[in-house]
A and B are shown apart, each in its own frame.
Chain A
Amino acid sequence: MKRIVIGLCAVLLIALCLPAYSAPDPMDTVKSYISQGMEIVGNKGLSRDAKIKKIEALYEKMVDEEELARRSLGRYWKSLTPAQQKEFIPLFRRVLENAYIDKILSYNNEKIVFSKQSRTSGNMAEVNSKVIMASKEIPITYRVIMKHGDWKVYDFVIENISLVQNYRSQFNAILAKETPAQLIETLKKKISRKQA
């Protein structure tokens, strides 16, 4: 009996201690990041390199990179040593950057419509948007998580394909056969090949 009461009290206490934050709106947050990005890309006064620098800085603010990396590795995240985890995060970002930066920079004032947002769980939400192009519409969903009072993106779902899950399936397939160190080597090779 005592234990029940103590347990209940504990539950109550913890629950009440949860910050009664007036949460910012997930959609507003994502919208503001995207419009900042549009401004950078559309700014004709900036060189390509300057644009990339600014996009990188914006990406750092917008995305919870650790969350993204951790979810992309899934259950293998823990098989990396903390040092490897630290090494992995920026490498992964470079891979993403190499893959998508041209797409981002080729943005040419296509209309972006934010259609809805929805809570997926207590501290996570989804923001749905569409890029409307001449010949087609591309749906993009931003999955966001509440971190330190701010919504941070941890997954991009482009045309119904989750980036995190797509990488998770690849990393899982690779790590089923190789060590984390080898995976990191593979990423490094991929990045240097792009630069060459």
Chain B
Amino acid sequence: MKRLSALCLIFTFLALGWAQSASGAQAAGAADDPPATLVAAPESSGTIGKSAEAGTGTSGTGIPDKPETIVVPGDDAGETAPAGDIGAEGEDPGEGEYGEPAITIADPLEGYNRVMFQFNDKLYFWVLKPVAQGYREIVPEAPRVSVNNFFTNLAFPIRFLNNLLQADFSGAVAEAGRFVVNTVWGIGGLMDPASSKQLDLPKHDPDLGQTLGMYGVGQGFYFIWPFLGPSSARDSLQVVSDYFLYPVSYINPWYASTGTRVYQEVNRTSLTIGDYESLKEAAIDPYVALRDAYAQYRQKKVEAAKGNLEPPKPGTLRIGQAQRQLSLLQEPTQQESPNEKEKR
């Protein structure tokens, strides 16, 4: 009897999934677009959850769990139906408050961090910004962009090594290509011919924090460095490694090296005046806003690297991506729980 009801359920879902895919799902996803399949996958996970609920709901207390265990694999195997949206349709959209996984970062040193936030904030408004503004008055935008390009090009070892560490060999080759092209044809990196339409070697910016994150190292706690700004326990390792990989660090004497870095920073700031101000303007609590922005930004970057890790194989596209999606969804909560324990 249980089996019959489960079969009925499967049938219902398949039929509905088919009906829905004809109207709704297709309307949303461009079929030729691989990412569209990528997102079709979590839908089926939504259906699993819902069908399980429906199963227990209808079978009542007498038959616990059974329909669930039958329905779930059945629904998964039913590849034909881009498993309908019933799950989400039936779901009260009003209650799905956490549609997106909450990305958080632990902040046990909040007291220190808030002080350091104030320090960097004042440093920006009292020193860096006025200097950068003066500099901007004197030097037109084009040369400032060139200087920025030059320093970016110079940081090639950081990107190249991290491409290798991430096993992103095509990225490493592209990065090496960019370096050669920009150094030779871009006058030592002042220009960026590699990004031009003809060559189309777009910029990527892999870093050590991302590499570590890709291999499962969590953020750890939030930490604001004086002068350098927001970071975390994990990303602080990057501060160290970048120091050794960045050629400017090897300039002698030390004050020339520091001076170069300061100049680089002033130049960079002259191109981004207004960004920090608007973040602060929009924020109710700027400290928390910046912390969250940092956590979200880093998380997305790590996810992007993970996405590069395993190129989808033609046949297994849907399942593989569904799994990855699921693991991505679960990851923040896994990271969150130890953090919360720490707080208590």
Contacts and interface: CB of A to CB of B under 8 A. Distances in A.
> A and B: real partners?
yes
User: Interface centre among B5, B88, B98, B282, by most A CB within 10 Å?
Assistant: B282
Interface string A1-33: 101111110111011001011111110000000
Given A22-B23, A116-B30, A123 B284 contact: no
Given A160-B297, A161-B297, A119 B284 contact: no
Interface stretch (A34-42, A45-53, A54-62, A94-102): A94-102
Nearest to A126: B39
A71 B271 contact: no
A1 B62 CA distance: 10
B196 interface: no
A122 B85 contact: yes
A114 B94 CA distance: 28
A170 B284 contact: yes
Nearest to A146: B93
Contact of A4 (B24, B33, B43, B58): B58
B289 interface: yes
B278 to A, nearest CB: 7
A122 B47 CA distance: 10
Residues of A contacting B: mostly: helix
Interface in B254-273: 271
Interface in A103-140: 103, 116-126, 135
Interface in B269-290: 271, 278, 281-285, 288-289
B8 interface: yes
A168 B103 CA distance: 11
A171 to B, nearest CB: 7
User: Interface centre among A6, A21, A25, A122, by most B CB within 10 Å?
Assistant: A122
Interface size range on A against B: 35 or more
Contact of B99 (A8, A26, A124): A124
Nearest to A71: B97
Contacts, number: 167
A166 B295 CA distance: 10
Given A4-B59, A71-B99, A95-B284, A117 B29 contact: yes
A117 B284 contact: no
A135 B145 contact: yes
Contacts of A96: 282
B91 interface: yes
B284 A171 contact: yes
B319 interface: no
Contacts of B145: 135
B335 to A, nearest CB: 15
A147 B156 CA distance: 48
B43 A11 contact: no
B57 A7 contact: yes
B72 interface: no
B60 interface: yes
Nearest to A21: B23
User: Interface centre among B23, B35, B100, B102, by most A CB within 10 Å?
Assistant: B100
A173 B285 contact: yes
Nearest to A11: B54
Interface in A127-186: 135, 145, 155, 159-162, 164-171, 173-174, 186
A170 B85 contact: no
A155 B24 CA distance: 21
Contact of B23 (A20, A118, A145): A20
A190 B283 CA distance: 10
A5 B88 CA distance: 23
Contact of B293 (A77, A161, A171): A161
Contacts of B97: 70-71, 74-75, 77
Contacts of B100: 155, 162, 164-165
A187 B40 CA distance: 39
A12 B296 contact: no
B213 interface: no
Interface of B: 1, 5, 8-9, 12, 16, 19-20, 23-25, 27-30, 33, 35-36, 38-40, 42-43, 46, 54, 57-60, 85-91, 93-94, 96-100, 102-104, 145, 271, 278, 281-285, 288-289, 291-293, 296-297, 300-301
5 contacts: A21-B23, A23-B28, A71-B97, A119-B36, A171-B284
Please provide the 4 A-B residue pairs with the shortest distance between their CB atoms, ordered closest to farther: A122-B88, A7-B58, A122-B85, A99-B282
Interface of A: 1, 3-8, 10-12, 14-15, 18, 20-26, 70-71, 74-75, 77, 95-96, 98-100, 102-103, 116-126, 135, 145, 155, 159-162, 164-171, 173-174, 186-187, 190
Given A123-B89, A165-B292, 13 more contacts: A4-B58, A8-B12, A11-B9, A20-B23, A99-B282, A102-B278, A116-B30, A123-B88, A124-B99, A125-B28, A166-B296, A168-B102, A186-B284
